[in-house]
């Protein structure tokens, strides 16, 4: 029976259920397991370079949970005609809700207000202003599945939605022609663009100089979309009023001064890993592997 290895922790019952009884799943594989593996499920934080591909000479398909493939050497996969399955849509709602949660946390000043109550400083509550999503402008960078879902939710809460994406088709009424245009008008900016060379550090000193003063910045996309030093400087200057980060340049990240600022909320790249979305991601990855091993086309692969 074909051996499928897990590179990173997966939900074994879900994966086995979708692979079926004709395939063997090996968690924590040894070198011998890798040598005979015909399929591999790769978690998002695992790097698959040429050496890893070399360790799996029988590999016929690799499935990456999620859609980002920057840690997979796609050139090697193409050289060896190995399709790289991705799982678009499995965590769309989860990430959109996570971005919204960060927006609300920062807009409503939940962290400092919690401290006031905890420390018996009730009379200081007037010192902390609360904002609203209703009536604000929410700017979304990246108009894919997650960006569109977030736009729908934010709009339902009464926000004016604007979006920038140099590739995707965006309705004329909300489209911004440039990132600078979006930053200048948005009270909240949420990043959901893919990480490619043109988007690396797209939020930097230059772009932040033109952001609406007092804006909130959320990054639930890819860590390197922002220059974290530039973001920290904008926060210290007051150009930014709050920052939400679920992703970082390196994961786990090195300690950075921005982490000690009470206007920053952080999570360890888990906004797409709700119970529901994680189950769907594992199911979709296993379905993609099974399809290829059975000579069928998977639902989605990396380009």
SS3 of 98, please?
helix
Query: What's the angle, vertex CA 8, arms to CA 7 and CA 14, rounded to 5?
Result: 95
Domains and CATH numbers, the chain: 3-90+275-293 (3.40.50.720), 92-266 (3.40.50.720)
- What integer pLDDT is reported at residue 222 of this predicted model? 95
Q: Dump the DSSP string for 184-236.
A: HH-SEEEE-----TTTTT-BSHHHHTTSPTTEEEEE-S-GGGB-HHHHHHHHH
From 64, 192, 222, 232, the catalytic residue? 222
Question: 206 an active-site residue?
Answer: no
- What integer pLDDT is reported at residue 68 of this predicted model? 77
From 251, 256, 263, 294, the catalytic residue? 251
Question: 197 an active-site residue?
Answer: no
Please report, for residues 4, 75, 251, 295, the alpha-carbon distance to residue 191 in angstroms, rounded to integers and kept in the order given: 34, 27, 18, 37
Mean pLDDT, rounded, of the chain: 96
- What integer pLDDT is reported at residue 303 of this predicted model? 67
Question: 12 an active-site residue?
Answer: no
pLDDT, one tens digit per residue, over 22-61 is 999 999 999 999 999 999 999 877 999 999 999 999 999 9
Predicted model pTM: 0.89
**List of the chain residues with pLDDT < 70:** 303
pLDDT, one tens digit per residue, over 94-127 is 999 999 999 999 999 999 999 999 999 999 999 9
């Amino acid at each position: 029976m074909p051996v499928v290895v897990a590179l990173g922790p997966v939900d074994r019952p879900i994966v086995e259920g979708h692979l079926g009884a004709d395939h063997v799943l090996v968690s924590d594989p040894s070198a011998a397991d890798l040598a005979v593996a015909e399929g591999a499920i790769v978690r998002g934080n695992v790097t698959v370079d040429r050496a890893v591909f070399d360790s799996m000479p029988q590999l016929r398909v690799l499935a990456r949970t999620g859609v980002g493939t920057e840690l997979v050497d796609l050139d090697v996969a193409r050289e060896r005609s190995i399709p790289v399955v991705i799982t678009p849509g499995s965590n769309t709602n989860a990430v959109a809700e996570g971005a919204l949660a960060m927006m609300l946390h920062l807009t409503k000043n939940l962290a400092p207000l919690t401290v006031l109550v905890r420390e018996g400083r009730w009379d200081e509550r007037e010192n902390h202003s609360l904002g609203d999503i209703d009536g604000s402008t929410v700017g979304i960078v990246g108009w894919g599945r997650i960006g569109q879902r977030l736009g729908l939710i934010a709009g339902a809460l009464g926000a004016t939605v604007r979006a920038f994406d140099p590739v995707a088709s965006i309705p004329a009424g909300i489209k911004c022609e440039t990132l600078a245009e979006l930053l200048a008008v948005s009270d909240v900016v949420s990043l959901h663009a893919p990480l490619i060379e043109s988007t690396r550090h797209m939020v930097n000193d230059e772009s932040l100089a033109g952001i609406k003063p007092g804006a909130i910045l959320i990054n639930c996309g890819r860590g390197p979309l922002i220059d974290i030093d530039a973001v920290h400087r904008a926060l210290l200057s007051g150009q930014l009023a709050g920052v939400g980060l679920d992703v970082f340049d390196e994961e786990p990240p090195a300690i950075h001064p921005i982490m000690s600022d009470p206007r920053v909320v952080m999570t360890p790249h888990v906004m797409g890993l709700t119970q529901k979305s994680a189950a769907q991601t594992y199911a979709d990855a296993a379905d993609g592997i099974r399809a290829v091993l059975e000579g069928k086309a998977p639902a989605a692969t990396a380009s």
